[in-house]
Amino acid sequence: MELIKDGIRIDGRKKDELREIKIKAGVLKRADGSAYVEWGMNKVYAAVYGPRELYPRFLRRYDKAILQCRYNMASFSVEERKRPGPDRRSVEISKVTRSALEPVVLTENFPESVINVNIEIVQAEAGTRCAGITAASVALADAGIPMRDLLPACAAGKVGGEIVLDLCKEEDNFGESDLPIAMVPRTGGITLLQMDGLMTEEEIEEALNLAKKGCKIIYEKQKEALKQKYRGNNND
Amino acid sequence: MIYVKDRKIVVPGELVATGNFRVYSGAEKEGKNIYSTVVGIVYTDPEKKSIKIVPLKGKYVPRIGDSVIGMVEELALKKAIVDINSPYKGILDVRDASMNRNAEINRLFSVGDIVYAKVMSVSDSVVLYAKPPYGKLREGRIITIPSTKIPRVIGKKGSMISLIKKYTECRIYVGQNGTIWIKGKSEKEDLAIKAIEIINSESHLSGLTDKIMRLLEEKVI
């Protein structure tokens, strides 16, 4: 199978083109903040609760709130039924999501408390961790939690010997390499950086730059989603 | 240099201004640049060189001197634990709850009671004070709005709340934590709640006092 031919990819995109992305803020009424992201065929909900009292007490930090992230894939989110509950993969993604979000959330404003971030993958098609982080940061902002910046996330990778942006399912499964990142747009700092597969140093550099460009596009959509929520009753 | 128009909505990370400004809330400085940290409305004052961003949502963080309305959640030996709609629980000691020195907490309060109290200290735990004029609120109705919108409900020097009180003839207590207690005639209570709900949903628009005034006048006649 040829994954890329004359610069056109298997799903018809160009090398530096993202899948279609839709972001909506404030979709769940019970949560303090929430967001819904449709990214290609990915469908992701993020719900934020808190800051609230933390139990057990020994987890409390006297100087800041702690973040608790939970990434979960619905059993029907993939073609073959996924066994429900946490597994190695989702525990790992929960952990990297937390470490990606921690530097942007101003946790020192709410000492001794906890902020819960729940990410639910309803439908999956490669790149769910990026979609999850993108949704989670919009949900955090929607909850009114002070943040240094929104946190867009996006992947780049190597497919058929070429560096491409935002891998789809076939490219993820049969491509050479995948490199998801999360970037703080204000400073250009990177809070998530993972890679599987193999790439040379130059290729990583190229993929990183491409993924950063993708993050900037997603950042604009995140801003738009948050502003859209209040546009209805705003007079401009 | 201010990049955002007055009363515009900003999101976290947006560059609001560059230069020497006083930042009150909702933003942080990085060198000369001032970035927003919340989803909120920008209020700028170019003359005083000040910037304030009022969040549209968010949890209440207790501050000394605030008046709050909470619900008794638990009774301990000599104190009541009060839920004040915040990440932190309020502690109300018997000695701060009654003028009677021999008072017992379970005679003063039972679980589920509504208390109007003042925040005395926030250093270790949130210590409340409920001697008169504070104290237990009986009957009445309670509504909860985001605590960031309470200043609009009160208005400049209490203009908005006294307007509502005047037209609805209700007794109203406003808690800084976003809880409002109203007691009056049933239909007047409805009117007061409606007014507060409008303030909540249109808090970022100007001319709100006039709008509330019109609503109250129409209903009152």
Residue of B nearest to A107 (CA): B37
Share of chain B above pLDDT 70, in %: 99
Q: What is the rounded average pLDDT of the residues A139-147?
A: 96
- Distance between A125 CA and the closest CA of chain B, angstroms: 29
CA dihedral B123, B127, B133, B137 (to 10 degrees): 130
Yes or no, beta carbons of B11 and A142 under 8 Å apart:
no
What separation in angstroms does the CA of B29 have from each of A158, B4, B16, B43? 39, 16, 10, 16
Say if residue A139's pLDDT is above 90.
yes
Say if residue B148's pLDDT is above 60.
yes
The pLDDT value recorded for residue A85 is: 93
Q: What is the rounded average pLDDT of the residues A179-184?
A: 96
Say if residue B204's pLDDT is above 80.
no
The pLDDT value recorded for residue A162 is: 93
Using alpha carbons, select from A122, A128, A65 the residue that is nearest to residue A96. A128
The pLDDT value recorded for residue A50 is: 85
What would the pLDDT profile of B107-140 be if each residue is shown by its tens digit?
999 999 999 999 999 988 899 999 988 999 998 9
The pLDDT value recorded for residue B220 is: 66
Domains (range + CATH), chain B: 9-55 (2.40.50.100), 67-137 (2.40.50.140), 141-220 (3.30.1370.10)
**Domain range annotation of chain A:** 10-231
Residues from A contacting B (CB-CB < 8 Å) are: 32-33, 50-53, 65, 104, 106, 109-110, 112-113, 141-150, 184-186, 222-223, 226-227, 230, 233-236
CATH dotted code for A10-231? 3.30.230.70
The pLDDT value recorded for residue B102 is: 86
What would the pLDDT profile of B91-104 be if each residue is shown by its tens digit?
999 999 988 888 89
φ, ψ dihedrals at B166, nearest 5°:
-65, -45
Chain A interface includes B145 (CB < 8 A): no
Element (H, E) at B121: strand B114-121
The pLDDT value recorded for residue A207 is: 96
What would the pLDDT profile of A199-214 be if each residue is shown by its tens digit?
999 999 999 999 999 9
Yes or no, beta carbons of A150 and B12 under 8 Å apart:
yes
Q: What is the rounded average pLDDT of the residues B80-94?
A: 94
Q: What is the rounded average pLDDT of the residues B170-198?
A: 93
Q: Which two tokens stand for residue B184?
A: 């009056």
The pLDDT value recorded for residue B15 is: 94
> Per-residue confidence at B2, pLDDT binned at 50, 70, 90?
confident
Q: What is the rounded average pLDDT of the residues A155-169?
A: 94
Using alpha carbons, select from B122, B123, B138 the residue that is nearest to residue B69. B138
Yes or no, beta carbons of A185 and B204 under 8 Å apart:
no
ipTM of the complex: 0.89
- The answer, yes or no, to whether the previous bond of B133 is cis (omega within 30 of 0) is yes
Say if residue A215's pLDDT is above 60.
yes
Say if residue B144's pLDDT is above 90.
yes
Rounded distance between C-alpha atoms, residue B192 and residue B181, angstroms: 10
What would the pLDDT profile of B3-47 be if each residue is shown by its tens digit?
888 888 999 999 999 988 888 889 999 889 999 999 999 988 878
Give the amino acid at A200.
T
Q: What is the rounded average pLDDT of the residues A21-44?
A: 96
The pLDDT value recorded for residue A236 is: 42
